[in-house]
Amino acid sequence: MSARTKARKRALDLLYGADLRSEPIGTAVAAEAVRAEAEPKRESSWGYARQLAEGVEEHLVEIDELIETYAQGWTIARMPAIDRAIVRMGIWELLFNPEVPDGVAIAEAVAAARTYSTEDSAGFVNGLLGRIAQTRV
């Protein structure tokens, strides 16, 4: 597993946990920063995980508006929390991180959905992120 994939998993844990606890993402990031200092062997994944979580937090309103607009038949409240976190990360990578190619952002999000959610979620994530990616072209 690449360092970026590990970082995405770590960011997913942060976003998902914050959502379940109804706490600000920044609070979850701060707690993880303390933990990261205590575990230097995990440092390679922390930088990008933090960037990803903070990026989602910074653009959360815009990201959630895109989800509401392009998630055909689904509201954010109706989505499983894990799917919300995965889609939010995917959208941030698509729109706010030019270092990540669209195909990679979508593929990583679909793989996360397949691993941590359901097979149906993987198709939903793929379709939603694909529609959002097409709006930028």
The pLDDT tens digits of the residues spanning 63-114 come to 999 999 999 888 899 999 999 999 999 999 999 999 999 999 999 999 999 9
Q: Kindly tell me if the per-residue pLDDT of 41 is higher than 90.
A: no
- Higher pLDDT among residues 136 and 137, named by residue: 136
Distances from the Cα of 84 to the Cα of 7, 36, 38, 39, 68, angstroms: 17, 24, 29, 28, 11
Domain of residue 10, CATH code: 1.10.940.10
On whether the CB atoms of residues 125 and 87 are closer than 8 A, the answer is yes
Calculate mean pLDDT across residues 31-60: 89
State the total domains in the chain: 1
Is 17 a residue whose pLDDT tops 70?
yes
pLDDT of 37 > 90? The answer is no
Residue 54 DSSP label: H
pLDDT of residue 95: 96
When the pLDDT of each residue in the chain is averaged and rounded to a whole number, the result is: 93
Question: Is pLDDT of 137 > 70?
Answer: no
pLDDT category at 122 given cuts 50, 70, 90 is very high
Domain that holds residue 114: 3-135
Confirm if 19 and 81 have CB atoms less than 8 A apart.
Answer: yes
Residues 21-29: contacts with CB under 8 Å, at least 24 apart: 24/57, 25/53, 25/54, 25/56, 25/57, 25/60, 26/54, 26/57, 28/53, 29/53, 29/54, 29/57
pLDDT at 136 over 90: no
